[in-house]
Amino acid sequence: MKKNNFIFSIIFFCGLQSTIYADTFSNNWAMEIIKYEPGNNVFGAYTNANTALGPASRFTYADKEMTNAASVTIINPPWQSDQIVSIGIGGKLIVKMGTEVRNYNDPEHPYGVDLLIFGNTLFAYIDDEGLPQTNPWYATSEEPAEIWVSADLTNWFMATNCFADSLMPTQSVDLNGHTSNYLFPPNPALLTNDWTSLSGTWSYSNTVAAYEGSAGGAPVDLSQLKTSSGQSTNLSFINYVKIENPRTEDAAEIDAIASVPILPEPYYLLFIIKYLLFISRKSLIQYYPLRVEAGYTIIQQ
């Protein structure tokens, strides 16, 4: 019975850790629509603001007939009306996050990124042979919209380092087909790349490799904000995100909004491992007494 209790405690402890992380991750997405104003120049089918709640899309269709299901990639973004919401000219979307978004630097938040905005931007390549792996990009399809954040729904501050429905496009799998991490940010340095250089430097393969397992998204740093009057500032935390489209043409599309979770500290993981090893050794000694004979350690049955 004691041995069973020991095994159960191990399973419960590990399960508790998994539950904590699962709950944390589920709360890291936008959870409530505060306001949605479609604006002008939107398609009627894309005005369901609730599509911006919860996790970003991992699958979509590769054809308009919706017969060929495929992974969401940087050349095949989410485009269905139940996946994205459109924000037209003069429109806005305000959401409440599922958990308070804190401003942390690297390494707690990789690259200092605190928030990710997923849209339906894509990279376009010259389809001479129908193979994107090595064909260089010649354009990006994006409709940049402003990203504003607030702690109280009263005072708003705009992100200065990136835009919504712009770089970086969503990539749900890596080059080996493994699932990408939607809560791990891409390196913001990628925002400054010359993606459509005439030299043909960037294509599907090396772009996905540069994501380093991230699923992309616009990487927002709460240390890089500005007031409505243009003064640089930062916030220690936020609860609300507003996507606003001040453009005179084209609507922006939003798939999802996520807060970046804190990476587990190495010592925290080591503590768990040491704890499990300690109670494992203690229990083995207690229930299976050891005796040493001729230099060998023997477990007595």
Question: What are the tens digits of pLDDT across the range 128-169?
Answer: 555 677 788 989 999 999 999 999 999 999 999 999 999 999
Q: What number of CA atoms fall less than 13 Å from residue 242's CA on the CB side?
A: 21
**Interval 263-280: pLDDT, tens:** 765 544 544 565 566 555
17: in domain: no
21: in domain: no
- DSSP structure class, residue 126: -
Boundaries of domain holding 204: 29-263
Determine if the pTM surpasses 0.85.
no
Beta bridge partners of 216: none
Count: domains in the chain: 1
Kindly tell me if the per-residue pLDDT of 73 is higher than 90: yes
The residue assigned the tokens 């037209």 is: 88
| 192 closest CA partner among 165, 219, 215 | 219
14: in domain: no
242: in domain: yes
Split at pLDDT 50, 70, 90, the class of 256 is very high
- Tell me the C-alpha distance between 259 and 114, whole Å: 6
290: in domain: no
68: in domain: yes
Q: What is the pLDDT, as a whole number, of residue 129?
A: 59
168: in domain: yes
Strand, coil or helix: what is 300? coil
- Tell me the C-alpha distance between 181 and 193, whole Å: 22
Q: What is the pLDDT, as a whole number, of residue 162?
A: 97
**Which stretch of 27-41, 78-92, 281-295 has the lowest confidence by average pLDDT?**
281-295
Bond into 31 cis (ω within 30) = no
